């Protein structure tokens, strides 16, 4: 396991994808994962062709707090008084988790439509750079830097991690961000679920076979959690 985790970290640094299955009894999905700071148009194309789910970009709770990026559910709660359609529609009854990780959606200001591989790669990579600067403390005004670079809404879905990473939530948002942090990379990953041809998520055996037959590392959530527990202490 240690060798696999180590190789996964090296692959993330090199701009290669890794694959993580969350857990039996949870979503039971495998996500393709890149470090956001390494994402290119080829990364986006690989995810939409071989994943097929929603391409999202994570951000650590700390960086989100510093920039001021809210959970989307909190935005909707505030807007309920003005928009009644939001009442009683919030995701507080998820069958597999306690809350939603969704934050706002963004496009970089140099994007055209925002949905092309080129545009989404631009948005993700520039957001990854901002996360790096905020996390390192080198960004003097994170809120100003964000609003100068990005507009909302957009085509890149931001996911905000739980505060206690991999303690109170063990989703792909947390698992992928933890992998980036352990690899010494900015705390932001870009992820996409793998879908099957039967209308369901690609099964774990099929996802593992795809990853390993193409020379990529396949991990299970509990493996990441075990290493994270030691690393974070």
E strands in the chain: 18-21, 30-35, 56-59, 102-108, 150-160, 189-193, 218-220
Site of tokens 């994962």:
33
> Which candidate in 62, 97, 129, 155 is catalytic?
155
85-109: burial string, b at 16+ Cβ within 10 Å, e else: ebeeeeeeeeeeeeebbbbbbbbbe
**Torsion-angle region of residue 130: left (phi > 0), alpha (psi -120 to 50) or beta?**
alpha
Q: Would you call 34 a catalytic residue per the annotation?
A: no
> Which candidate in 22, 29, 31, 135 is catalytic?
31
Whether the Cβ atoms of residue 39 and residue 125 lie closer than 8 Å to each other: yes
Whether the Cβ atoms of residue 96 and residue 26 lie closer than 8 Å to each other: yes
**Torsion-angle region of residue 137: left (phi > 0), alpha (psi -120 to 50) or beta?**
left
Q: Would you call 174 a catalytic residue per the annotation?
A: no
Residue partners of 52: CB distance under 8 A and separation at least 6: 192, 193, 194, 195
> Which candidate in 22, 34, 56, 172 is catalytic?
56
Site of tokens 């999905």:
29
Q: Would you call 56 a catalytic residue per the annotation?
A: yes
Q: Would you call 107 a catalytic residue per the annotation?
A: yes
Q: Would you call 61 a catalytic residue per the annotation?
A: no
> Which candidate in 96, 164, 212, 214 is catalytic?
96
Q: Would you call 180 a catalytic residue per the annotation?
A: no
> Which candidate in 11, 27, 193, 220 is catalytic?
193
d(CA 210, CA 90): 35
The residues that are catalytic are 31, 56, 96, 107, 155, 193
């Amino acid at each position: 396991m240690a060798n696999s985790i180590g190789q996964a970290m090296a692959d993330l640094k090199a701009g290669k994808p890794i694959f993580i299955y969350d857990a039996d009894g949870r979503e039971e999905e495998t996500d393709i994962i890149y470090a956001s700071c390494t994402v290119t148009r080829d990364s986006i194309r690989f995810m939409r062709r071989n994943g097929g789910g929603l391409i999202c970009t994570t951000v650590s709770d700390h960086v989100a707090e510093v920039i001021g990026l809210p959970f989307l559910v909190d935005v909707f709660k505030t807007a309920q008084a003005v928009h009644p359609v939001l009442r009683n529609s919030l995701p507080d009854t998820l069958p597999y988790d306690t809350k939603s990780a969704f934050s706002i959606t963004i496009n970089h200001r140099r994007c055209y439509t925002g949905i092309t591989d080129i545009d989404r790669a631009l948005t993700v990579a520039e957001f990854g750079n901002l996360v790096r600067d905020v996390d390192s403390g080198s960004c003097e005004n994170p809120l100003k830097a964000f609003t100068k670079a990005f507009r909302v809404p957009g085509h890149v879905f931001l996911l905000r991690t739980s505060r206690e990473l991999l303690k109170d939530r063990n989703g792909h948002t947390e698992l992928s961000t933890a992998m980036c942090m352990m690899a010494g990379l900015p705390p932001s990953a870009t992820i996409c679920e793998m879908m099957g041809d039967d209308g369901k998520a690609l099964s774990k055996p099929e996802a593992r076979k795809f990853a390993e037959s193409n020379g990529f590392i396949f991990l299970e959530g509990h493996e990441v959690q075990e290493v994270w527990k030691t690393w974070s202490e």
